[in-house]
Structure 1
Amino acid sequence: MPNRLAHETSPYLLQHADNPVDWWPWSPAAFEEARRRDVPVLLSVGYSSCHWCHVMAHESFEDQGTADFLNEHFVAVKVDREERPDIDAVYMEAVQAATGQGGWPMTVFLTPGAEPFYFGTYFPPAPRHGMASFPQVLEGVRAAWADRREEVGEVAGRIVRELSERTLALGVAAPKEGEDGAAGPRPPTVEDVHRALMGLTREFDAVHGGFGGAPKFPPSMTLEFLLRHHARTGSEAALQMVQATCEAMARGGIYDQLGGGFARYAVDATWTVPHFEKMLYDNALLCRVYAHLWRATGSDLARRVALETADFLVRDMRTAQGGFASALDADSDDGTGKHAEGAFYVWTPEQLREVLGAEDAALAAAHFGVTEEGTFEEGASVLQLPDTELLLDAQKLASVRRRLLAAREQRPRPGRDDKIVAAWNGLAIAALAETGAFFDRPDLVQAATDAADLLVRTHMDWHARLFRTSLDGVAGTHAGVLEDYADVAEGFLALTAVTGEGVWVDFAGLLLDTVLVRFTGADGQLFDTADDAETLIRRPQDPTDTATPSGWTAACGALLTYSAYTGSGAHREAAERALGVVRVLGPKAPRFISWGLAVTEALLDGPREVAVVGPDDHPATRELHRTALLSTAPGLAVAVGAPESDPAAAEVPLLANRPLLAGRPAAYVCRAFTCAAPTDDAGVLARSLAGGE
């Protein structure tokens, strides 16, 4: 008999709908049931492409005996962390504070008042390596609830108090002589950025690229910061870190050498063996990084990877409604009925011979680093690109890849989480719009526009409030969080730059006004949830960038760009105040505030604004527009459209009062709406946008 998850829209929750565990979705009714029965709540948080979530589900939640014990002594609540990042953030903070680590599946035991008192992540079905089994944990919690209730209450109360007392220290500078004594948060300075850069340099892996050791995650936001820093200052050291890291990832097993796109992370320091799940957000962010690296250097490798990743997104992640699915699983059927991680992607020499024949298989094995010993499990290899890339000429390589990809398509595919997450689609919109514009791929720009249309139609209501998720064209019931508003606005503004359609500035403005009203607190601090969102034991607030830009730093970037298009002082001031946190975290933990540092580079550069005016079908208009888009100036805002003398009638305020130059299309380069003399020469425009300091 299906449990209460059968009517949910989250693919992750639906995966558990037939468990013998009597799951509840997160809801007031679940906690009321716990109060009525006087039992604790088991909160289990995961996501659909989480390997160990599936392992624990198979070992414990599909086991009848374990389920019977759970159903008798607990109310079991299942949460999709991608659908409810607010719940995940609050209880993960408690898990990390109590245990010093975190991860998924997250397993937390709560009082009926939703107060946490016991924590963990994955628990095995039997004791292992000093780790208690899940049945032992359940029995221990049951006994504590029955026999030491007062102690449990004291622990829960202390944890909630400690969480509620945590505060964020924003970058507050002492007032200068003659200034008002009540100094507020100040944006980071050139010196703050320099100190952060020195920290990154110390952490850089000069041998294998990237930062830190194993496991190694793609540092997309750090790379974007370094590219912007190079553009502003000319720092060759910053550019070299980007080039080394991007080349190492593109040649490693973390990159899908046949179908494009990146796996979630590498389990080693050399980018060789990946954890095979593919996330929308990783690929959107990395697609943009490689496109920007090509823009800065003209690298053929960066161009290829950007386009292949964009094509992967459209081919494998796009849904029937025009949005982009959340993730592809790591596991799939290995052809024997057994699910195995990476089965869809790895190859043995024998499999190469079956598809290519002996001669081409030998060349392909050498080209992709496939050995008899294998780089993965059971003699299988993850495809890589060794330095000797000329083992196959372009024509032969194209043939080999085409045949291998066609053969791979016949394998059982990894599961796909078709849930549309607003924030991650915003990231994809920005990446596809820019990649399409850079490489003359209007189909990619159209894919970005289609996804933006879906967000407006399905995720956005008449009050400029966002729903976080949708499935099959139907919006979920969960309110958008700060990252949704910020990343969707970022995507809309990128579409404005590429298409010239001012309506996207209008939509971005509606979302960012909601950020100012509903998500902004004292001293410019930002919260992850709106002020009218569901009340949890703590209002989540985290400025650190992890797998994606935090809602906080993403909002800073979108607010700053919007102010460049519109001249809004309120939005720019909000961005500057919120960036105060970068002064605190940048020098101490630069990898975890990298998007904040990237936004800071835009702030230090202006950001510059380019207004291109002229008929949209005029070759000179198109040339000036493309020149502006290909500028590396950090955070550059680009508007293109017909000349408009009436500011109130201009689709984008940046275009207002920008006449043609002697009847010819022209470009105006501005900072804070103060412009240099216009030019009708694309070469002059390019030179005026080159360099920063």
Structure 2
Amino acid sequence: MNASPLSSERTPRQLRVVMATTLTLCLTTSCARQAPQERSPTRKQPREASGTCTLGMPLPGVTRRSPTLEKRLLTAWRARSPGYRPRTRHLCANGEPRYLNRLLLEQSPYLRQHAHNPVNWFPWGDEAFARARRLRRPVLLSVGYATCHWCHVMERESFEDPAIAKLLNERYVAIKVDREELPHVDATYMSALELIKRSGGWPLTVWLLPDRRPFYATSYLPPRDGDRGASQGFVSWLERLARAYNNDAAAVGRVAAKLAGGVRVLLSPPPAKKGDKANKGRKTLPTMAIHDTLAATYKRRFDSTYGGLRGAPKFPSSPSIPFLLRQSRRRPKGDALRQARLTLRHMAAGGLFDHLGGGFHRYSTDARWRVPHFEKMLYDNALLTIAYLEGAQACGEASFNTVARRTLDYVLRELRSPSGAFYAATDADSAAPKDPDGERSEGRFFTWTPREVQRALGPLGSPIFSARYGIREAGDLEGRSVLHLARGLPALAVAQKQTVHALKRELARLRGMLYRARAKRPPPLRDEKIITGWNGLMIAALARAGLVLSEPRYYRAAARAGEVLWLRLRLPNGRLARRLAGGTARFIGALDDHAYTLWALIELFEASGELRWLKRALALEAVIARGFEDPKGGAFFSTAKGDDALLGRQKPYRDSARPAANGVHALNLLRLYQLTDRQALRRRAGKTLRAFQRVLRESPEASPSLVLAHGFASSSPLQIVLLRLDGAPDAAGKALRETLRKTFVPYRVMVDVPASQVSKMRPLLPLLEGKRPLGGKSTAFVCCGGSCKRPTSDAAVFAKQLQGSCGRKR
């Protein structure tokens, strides 16, 4: 269960008190009016019904379904892919599933995981809510995602239980949502959970009225009272809230009204305080002092031993590495660079990083980055790649580039689809090799015992590998060890009487052997949705890596995926679809899909100098302005005009595992403005930042991405132009590019193009005006604040210009 504490600035204390008090009074009253308590289903594990078991038997508590639906389900079953395995324990002797429900008709891997539950699931849509109104039933909404460990646990314990399914089918309309397909649905009802519990997580379990207003929300629930130490289990909550809905509809309606009002407050940025002189004109941004405020917050909470923020669990997005690196340039004598370096080192050394296959797991369950939650998300690996690339530049540590390479190589090897776009994630759970169809457990694929390592590496290789990567009899997780850097190379080289270089070679060979042994295990399930925004983040990371690491293969992979997004996920009106699954693009993309993709297009342009990417970026920016912008209040809504807004249109500003879409898009606008000199872009960025100025002033830790955009807006960013000679790169061009590749320039845009293309590109890029190579060599131009430094073909001069005072922030 991922927890996300509710930050206090978002919710007035009075509102939280009213919500909690009203809810408690309503539910207590409702339950007290029902004297006899209904009997809970038995605790025993259900047995299969005796008699004939056939495909698609009636769901418990469901008297009949339409013949049309039955026909569609049977057709979908017959059209299943050859490797399809029903994810259920309710199987007939021939391996066919006893139950089929509507989720079999969906393409989401998460929804299809539940397609053989005995629950009469509906996907999100008007049909389910119309049924709830017609039957006068409440709605049980369950939100999760395909690689969520506790979602799988709740499925096994509750949604696979025929007795619980019968209760749901008879008294509720049950809806299952993949949060990665419908992020606005997830965000809306997660806000309700945060109001009630002051934290959030998945699976998200919400009780709704037929008009879609929530009246209660929680996260994972064990099935029955006493299970896992819970005083009340899922069954008790289902019975209790069904009684409240049926016996005291007016009180439940009042709770729903209060809760819906609270959600609407959370979906919008905090308004300016009355009488706040700093906010009256809304014409100026906060000063750069907010950066010092955020740095001080991180300093107070920083773990000086292992990096990151103190405590557990630890998420790689906290603290914000990109912010710390930029703050270190502004305050060179501060702690920011040390904090970033320490965090990057320990994340890469711990079990959070997959030392065999590369790539990062979701988060660490302990303070040492040792034992992770083992799912791997595309977006984490994209954002961490960028963090390590920038860390290598700012800290001068080549090992950080190695981490970035290994992360991207993992993505290209294991998450790239045949089309060239990228799958969403891999699961935390996997089965034991001896029972590939058996129950899955967390981390089984990634963890080792000493005996398993010895069997794979032999008596000579095993001791060396185990010493380096911490393989112990006691283990880290239920007797199994998580690979981590337990012993330094110099000390281990002395103990093994080898040179460090020879030891590195030997460890690389042993890693390859163990990786091949691991590949024979049943792998974690892979969520093969192609999510537009997450692909945007990975494309941005690959394009940046192609530039920084001088690796054309990374740029080629980025460009190929970029073409998939542009050609297969763009709708006729220019907007982007949310995802591609089963060959079908579906759902209108959210703001983050558009903002992250625009980020990718800018990175592709800067990495290649190809004008098509810049043209596409400007076209997509215009689509975002038309469909998502709030022209009066500034900033951008998460949903497009005309899309399902539920309880209100959210303006996302809080960073989570991913940067807030408004922060990313404000920075996109500022970068495009610096490239094209289009004043409308600068104005839109300014309105966005002013819309969130109370957040920036009072709680910048809620949105480091907005702080990064603010820093760009408040500085004089460098405009870097590299004009190359046509044909093979000359020595000057190579040296200039190598200098830029190694230098951390916090706020900049760049254009790297052949000199012969200048006249063609000048109409879109006014900063090319009057520039040409000097002395028959590739030439660099560094400009900012309306003036340019002396053009140069000398890499040493160029390096000084990049590090000079131009671009210093106030």
Aligned to 2:612: 503
Contact preservation (8 Å) 1:498, 1:629: no
Q: Deviations over 1:360-412 (max 9, x none)?
A: 111111110111111111x2100010242242611111111110111011111
Q: Could you tell me how far apart the structure 1 residues matched to 2:276 and 2:789 are?
A: 35
1:546 to 648, 656, 666: 656
Letter of the aligned partner of 2:618 in structure 1?
G
Q: Deviations over 1:80-100 (max 9, x none)?
A: 111111011111111111222
More displaced stretch, 278-287 vs 385-394 = 385-394
1:659 to 756, 762, 772: 772
Task: Report the CA distance shift for 1:97/1:220 in structure 2 as closer, same or farther (over 3 A).
Answer: closer
1:380 to 468, 480, 497: 480
Contact preservation (8 Å) 2:108, 2:178: yes
Aligned to 1:640: 752
Aligned to 2:46: none
Aligned to 2:316: 218
Contact preservation (8 Å) 1:279, 1:328: yes
Alignment of 1:61-72 (within 5 A): 61-72=159-170
TM-score, reference length from structure 2: 0.81
Alignment of 1:281-360 (within 5 A): 281-335=379-433, 336=435, 337-360=438-461
Deviation at 1:220, TM superposition (A): 6.3
Q: Could you tell me how far apart the structure 2 residues matched to 1:669 and 1:582 are?
A: 32
Letter of the aligned partner of 2:750 in structure 1?
V
2:218 to 112, 117, 120: 120
Aligned to 2:794: 681
For this pair of structures, how many residues does the alignment match?
687
Contact preservation (8 Å) 2:634, 2:691: no
Q: Deviations over 1:11-34 (max 9, x none)?
A: 111111121111111111111111
Aligned to 2:109: 11
Q: Deviations over 1:499-544 (max 9, x none)?
A: 1112111111122222223222233232211222113112122301
Structure 1 SS opposite 2:782: strand
Task: Report the CA distance shift for 1:604/1:535 in structure 2 as closer, same or farther (over 3 A).
Answer: closer
Across the aligned residues of Structure 1 and Structure 2, the Cα RMSD in angstroms comes to 2.2
Q: Does 1:517 align with 2:639?
A: no
TM-score, reference length from structure 1: 0.95
More displaced stretch, 674-683 vs 68-77 = 674-683
Q: Could you tell me how far apart the structure 2 residues matched to 1:569 and 1:76 are?
A: 50
Q: Does 1:24 align with 2:146?
A: no
Q: Does 1:142 align with 2:242?
A: yes
Alignment of 1:605-624 (within 5 A): 605-617=715-727, 618-619=729-730, 620-624=732-736
Runs of at least 5 residues in structure 1 that lack an aligned partner in the other structure: none
Contact preservation (8 Å) 1:458, 1:474: no
Aligned to 1:366: 467
Q: Could you tell me how far apart the structure 2 residues matched to 1:372 and 1:677 are?
A: 64
Q: Could you tell me how far apart the structure 2 residues matched to 1:507 and 1:220 are?
A: 32
Contact preservation (8 Å) 2:468, 2:487: no
Q: Could you tell me how far apart the structure 2 residues matched to 1:588 and 1:341 are?
A: 40
Q: Could you tell me how far apart the structure 2 residues matched to 1:387 and 1:588 are?
A: 43
Aligned to 1:460: 570
Structure 2 SS opposite 1:325: coil
1:470 to 570, 575, 580: 580
Task: Report the CA distance shift for 1:603/1:630 in structure 2 as closer, same or farther (over 3 A).
Answer: farther
Alignment of 1:162-173 (within 5 A): 162-165=262-265, 167-169=268-270
Q: Could you tell me how far apart the structure 1 residues matched to 2:276 and 2:626 are?
A: 27
Structure 2 SS opposite 1:684: helix
Task: Report the CA distance shift for 1:248/1:611 in structure 2 as closer, same or farther (over 3 A).
Answer: same
Q: Could you tell me how far apart the structure 1 residues matched to 2:743 and 2:416 are?
A: 29
Task: Report the CA distance shift for 1:647/1:220 in structure 2 as closer, same or farther (over 3 A).
Answer: farther
Aligned to 1:669: 782
Q: Could you tell me how far apart the structure 2 residues matched to 1:162 and 1:679 are?
A: 58
Task: Report the CA distance shift for 1:645/1:324 in structure 2 as closer, same or farther (over 3 A).
Answer: closer
Q: Could you tell me how far apart the structure 2 residues matched to 1:259 and 1:427 are?
A: 21
Runs of at least 5 residues in structure 2 that lack an aligned partner in the other structure: 1-55, 57-99, 494-502
Contact preservation (8 Å) 1:211, 1:219: no
Q: Could you tell me how far apart the structure 2 residues matched to 1:499 and 1:622 are?
A: 15
Aligned to 2:70: none
Aligned to 1:576: 686
Deviation at 1:261, TM superposition (A): 0.9
Q: Could you tell me how far apart the structure 1 residues matched to 2:140 and 2:711 are?
A: 45
Structure 2 SS opposite 1:549: coil
Deviation at 1:418, TM superposition (A): 0.8
Q: Could you tell me how far apart the structure 2 residues matched to 1:587 and 1:203 are?
A: 19
Aligned to 1:133: 233
Give the greater-gyration-radius structure (CA): 2
Letter of the aligned partner of 2:605 in structure 1?
T
Q: Could you tell me how far apart the structure 2 residues matched to 1:185 and 1:15 are?
A: 51
Contact preservation (8 Å) 2:424, 2:529: yes
Letter of the aligned partner of 1:641 in structure 2?
V
Task: Report the CA distance shift for 1:165/1:22 in structure 2 as closer, same or farther (over 3 A).
Answer: same
Task: Report the CA distance shift for 1:301/1:114 in structure 2 as closer, same or farther (over 3 A).
Answer: same
More displaced stretch, 538-547 vs 283-292 = 538-547
Deviation at 1:488, TM superposition (A): 0.6
Letter of the aligned partner of 2:710 in structure 1?
T
Contact preservation (8 Å) 1:613, 1:655: no
RCO (CA 8 Å, sep 6+): is it higher in 1 or 2? 1
Q: Percent of counterpart pairs with the same letter?
A: 37
Q: Could you tell me how far apart the structure 2 residues matched to 1:674 and 1:72 are?
A: 73
Task: Report the CA distance shift for 1:120/1:182 in structure 2 as closer, same or farther (over 3 A).
Answer: closer
Aligned to 2:603: 494
Contact preservation (8 Å) 2:206, 2:217: yes
Q: Could you tell me how far apart the structure 2 residues matched to 1:450 and 1:126 are?
A: 50
Q: Deviations over 1:147-173 (max 9, x none)?
A: 111211121122223333555236799
Contact preservation (8 Å) 1:606, 1:672: yes
Structure 2 SS opposite 1:207: coil
Q: Could you tell me how far apart the structure 1 residues matched to 2:724 and 2:203 are?
A: 55
1:156 to 240, 250, 256: 256
Task: Report the CA distance shift for 1:154/1:639 in structure 2 as closer, same or farther (over 3 A).
Answer: same
Aligned to 2:141: 43
Alignment of 1:548-563 (within 5 A): 548-563=658-673
Q: Does 1:536 align with 2:646?
A: yes
Task: Report the CA distance shift for 1:89/1:69 in structure 2 as closer, same or farther (over 3 A).
Answer: same
Deviation at 1:127, TM superposition (A): 1.6
Task: Report the CA distance shift for 1:472/1:498 in structure 2 as closer, same or farther (over 3 A).
Answer: farther
Task: Report the CA distance shift for 1:430/1:676 in structure 2 as closer, same or farther (over 3 A).
Answer: same
Q: Could you tell me how far apart the structure 1 residues matched to 2:741 and 2:593 are?
A: 25
Alignment of 1:49-88 (within 5 A): 49-88=147-186
Q: Deviations over 1:307-339 (max 9, x none)?
A: 111111111111111111111100001223331
Deviation at 1:242, TM superposition (A): 0.6
Contact preservation (8 Å) 2:549, 2:741: no
Deviation at 1:57, TM superposition (A): 0.8
More displaced stretch, 668-677 vs 49-58 = 668-677
Q: Does 1:481 align with 2:590?
A: yes
Letter of the aligned partner of 2:326 in structure 1?
R
Structure 2 SS opposite 1:524: coil
Contact preservation (8 Å) 1:187, 1:582: no
Q: Does 1:414 align with 2:524?
A: yes
Contact preservation (8 Å) 2:269, 2:653: no
Structure 1 SS opposite 2:529: strand
Q: Does 1:261 align with 2:359?
A: yes
Letter of the aligned partner of 1:70 in structure 2?
L
